[in-house]
Amino acid sequence: MAAVAEVLSTVASRPDPRGCDLPTCPVCADSMVAAEASAYLQDSIISYLWTCDTCGYGFVTKHSVKRFACN
């Protein structure tokens, strides 16, 4: 089965996703619980690969995270 993927860009308001922030499949609207893979793209950008278990549609989200300074 061939997979189709597109890049969906988001800006995270918090450093970690909450239950209400997790994506839904744009094709079948099924909710997704965990990303299939993740990668650091740049210093403060993380990319997540999502694949729908129901229909097989795949997409990528990108999140910008802030660095924390410790005193």
Q: Which residue ranges make up each domain of the chain?
A: 5-13+25-64
pTM for the predicted model, two decimal places: 0.62
In this prediction, residue 27 has a pLDDT band, given cuts at 50, 70 and 90, of very high
pLDDT at residue 8 greater than cutoff 70? no
Phi, psi at 14, each rounded to 5°: -130, 155
In this prediction, residue 4 has a pLDDT band, given cuts at 50, 70 and 90, of low
In this prediction, residue 9 has a pLDDT band, given cuts at 50, 70 and 90, of low
Average pLDDT over residues 41-68: 88
- Between CA 6 and CA 26 the distance in angstroms is 11
